[in-house]
Structure 1
Amino acid sequence: HDDDQTAVDEQMEKELEDGNDPYANEPTRHSALIVHSDQPMNAEVPERLLTEEYITPAELFYIRHHHPVPVVDEEEARDYTLDVDLSAFGKGTMELSIDDLKTKFRKAEITATLHCTGNQRGRMNEVRRTSGTPWGQGAVSTAKWGGVYLRDVLAYAGLDDLEEMRSKGLEHVRFEGADGMTASIGIEKALNPFGDVIIAYEMNGRPLPPDHGFPLRALVPGYVAVR
């Protein structure tokens, strides 16, 4: 959303004015990645490696960022919480730690392919000039994501009745990341038992890397735009 981008840009300008580099603590990336920009990082998988394995190794997974990567160390991650705003129901905020997610809910594992909708834009430029990162064909990767179903979390909060939610004017579930980005999905998708929307804490059997959402990220199969 433009407002999200503006807010983050303003914060970055303030950091620079204060003598701080917003990109000073970026993660180390694999040398094989083809980098299109490093502030923010946008890098793709080389064509020769793209089909070597069905599951893309996390270190070779393409990177598509709009902002600096949020800095969350392992100690901070232990206290990190997923906050569910229940104010529309006259309640406060439900906080769930990562340990809560791992112990209170069944584990969900989804193998999903992500790709930038601008994938192969570089080849489009051969026909007509386009706007955006000139990706080759490597802005696409597949991983096995582990976490909890969003619908289970919502049910735990008492938000499992679609009609009740609609009666209160609730049509979307809105996500906000540590980097300031926001996105939403319809409540039908969020509650659909076949929707496979998860709050992920693992990628290929290990904790999420910083470039891919550590310590928690939403994964919404079948949807576009930073999801």
Structure 2
Amino acid sequence: MPGLRGPSDYSQEPPRHPCLRINAKEPFNAEPPRSALVSSYVTHVDFFYKRNHGPIPIVDDLERYSVSITGLIDNPKELFMKDIMNLPKYNVTATLQCAGNRRTAMSKTRKVKGVGWDVAALGNAVWGGAKLADVLELVGIPKCTNATPSGGKHVEFVSIDKCKEENGGPYKASIPLCQATNPEDDVLLAYEMNGEPLNRDHGYPLRGIVPGIIGARSVKWLDSINIIAEECQGFFMQKDYKMFPPSVNWDNIIWSTRRPQMDFPVQCAICSLEDMNVVKHGKITIKGYAVSGGGRGIERVDVSIDGGKTWVEASRYQKTGIPYTADESSDKWAWVLFEAKADIPQTAEIVAKAVDTAANVQPENVENIWNLRGILNTSWHRVHVRVGHSNM
């Protein structure tokens, strides 16, 4: 593509913050310390997890960069950045979460394949850009459309990013046309993150943002947008990011028996404590995040200091000092931060679980949701702490 290219090696990678925990170097996959997540409602770009499948693309000439919109439409178009930036700009606060978040804990039950993420393969940002519904109107697709006259029912995002899973071809994914054309679903072609132009790790100059579903569908470094009849047939839609039962292994898996994962379940994690922390005697503060897919709010977060025998309800907030309510005043696509205080006995298993507004609750045990790709570990989050003795 003019103005944007995908390098074939890793010699021109962007700089990254030294505090990141690197889970894979090439391609670069890293997450921040879990404590960084609860330091701010909006995640700083440096501390936003990095999920990549190949070398980071490079923009050589922003003025020449364009996105083609083709497929089952009558009026294909090539859009330059100025065309997209001339459309009304929207800011959408949304949490992106890798489907493999908390995979490491799942792998302790049985081996899984994938990047070994802890609890910080997610982040919350303010994304700025044009609504995809407005962009698709430029090629003659009205808002809230289920199908084009030519039979297009899905919108496929294709990246300039080249990855080995596609045999050197581009990363790609799709969403239903009805979602893409519904302004209420807030799907963006984003060019800003937290009020600044996207950086290279996060999709500069243009990416898709699809709130409420797994991050794998928010394709970075857009090359083209295709209107297609069936869902994308790319590797990451058809042979990855699908939820299989614990009985399925690599010998009996049949990928076509499961749909691509889109929505993500209710999730929470404790971030103010690492596992096996030594804490001072007295009250401690337990902080973390809770989030659910599909725009569902968080009804409550329950915290236990005795492994789940007894519970207290944590306070919830998005804006500091303002109690959270799951209504029109909240950011429906964004996480909720929680906080509880407790006196810790000599040793404790601290547990957190969230309930969303549809009364979905996290499962108690990871064994029941184990799957061979290690995705969607939403079991109760547990940390073990003990009280240390002062030397004073």
TM-score when scaled to structure 2? 0.50
Deviation at 1:164, TM superposition (A): 5.9
2:78 equivalent to 1:95: yes
Distance 1:140 1:90, change over 3 A: closer
1:80 to 58, 65, 69: 65
SS at match of 2:94: strand
Show the 5 A alignment for 1:198-213: 198-213=188-203
2:177 equivalent to 1:192: no
Distance 1:90 1:50, change over 3 A: closer
Counterpart in 2 of 1:61?
A: 48
Following TM superposition, the consecutive aligned residue runs of length 4 or more in structure 1 with deviations greater than 6 angstroms are none
Counterpart in 2 of 1:173?
A: 155
SS at match of 2:120: coil
The answer to whether the Cα contact below 8 Å between 1:45 and 1:140 also exists between their aligned partners in 2 is no
Distance 1:182 1:164, change over 3 A: closer
Deviation at 1:124, TM superposition (A): 1.6
SS at match of 1:178: strand
Show the 5 A alignment for 1:208-219: 208-219=198-209
SS at match of 2:129: strand
Counterpart in 1 of 2:32?
A: 45
Paired with 2:208 and 2:175, the residues of 1 have a C-alpha distance of 11
CA offsets, 1:125-172, max 9 Å, x none? 22222211111111111110000000001112211162661x421110
CA offsets, 1:22-59, max 9 Å, x none? 11111111101100111000000101211101111111
The answer to whether the Cα contact below 8 Å between 2:210 and 2:217 also exists between their aligned partners in 1 is no
Distance 1:126 1:90, change over 3 A: closer
SS at match of 2:85: helix
SS at match of 1:222: coil
Structure 2: gaps spanning 5 or more residues: 1-5, 162-169, 219-392
Paired with 1:78 and 1:56, the residues of 2 have a C-alpha distance of 29
1:115 to 91, 94, 97: 97
2:20 to 8, 28, 33: 33
2:115 to 108, 130, 133: 133
Deviation at 1:182, TM superposition (A): 1.1
Task: Give the letter aligned to residue 42 of structure 1.
Answer: N
Paired with 2:113 and 2:13, the residues of 1 have a C-alpha distance of 26
Structure with the higher strand share, 1 or 2? 2
SS at match of 1:143: strand
Structure with the higher helix share, 1 or 2? 1
The answer to whether the Cα contact below 8 Å between 1:121 and 1:135 also exists between their aligned partners in 2 is yes
Counterpart in 2 of 1:4?
A: none
Task: Give the letter aligned to residue 77 of structure 1.
Answer: L
RMSD of aligned Cα (Å): 1.8
Paired with 1:64 and 1:163, the residues of 2 have a C-alpha distance of 31
CA offsets, 1:3-22, max 9 Å, x none? xxxxxxxx98xx5xxxxxx1
The answer to whether the Cα contact below 8 Å between 2:96 and 2:123 also exists between their aligned partners in 1 is yes
2:135 equivalent to 1:153: yes
Aligned length: 203
Which has the bigger relative contact order, CA under 8 A and spacing at least 6?
1
Q: Who wins on radius of gyration, i.e. which is larger?
A: 2
Deviation at 1:90, TM superposition (A): 4.0
Task: Give the letter aligned to residue 88 of structure 1.
Answer: L
The answer to whether the Cα contact below 8 Å between 2:131 and 2:183 also exists between their aligned partners in 1 is no
Distance 1:121 1:60, change over 3 A: same
Paired with 1:177 and 1:186, the residues of 2 have a C-alpha distance of 18
Paired with 1:42 and 1:80, the residues of 2 have a C-alpha distance of 26
Paired with 2:131 and 2:25, the residues of 1 have a C-alpha distance of 33
Structure 1: gaps spanning 5 or more residues: 1-10, 16-21
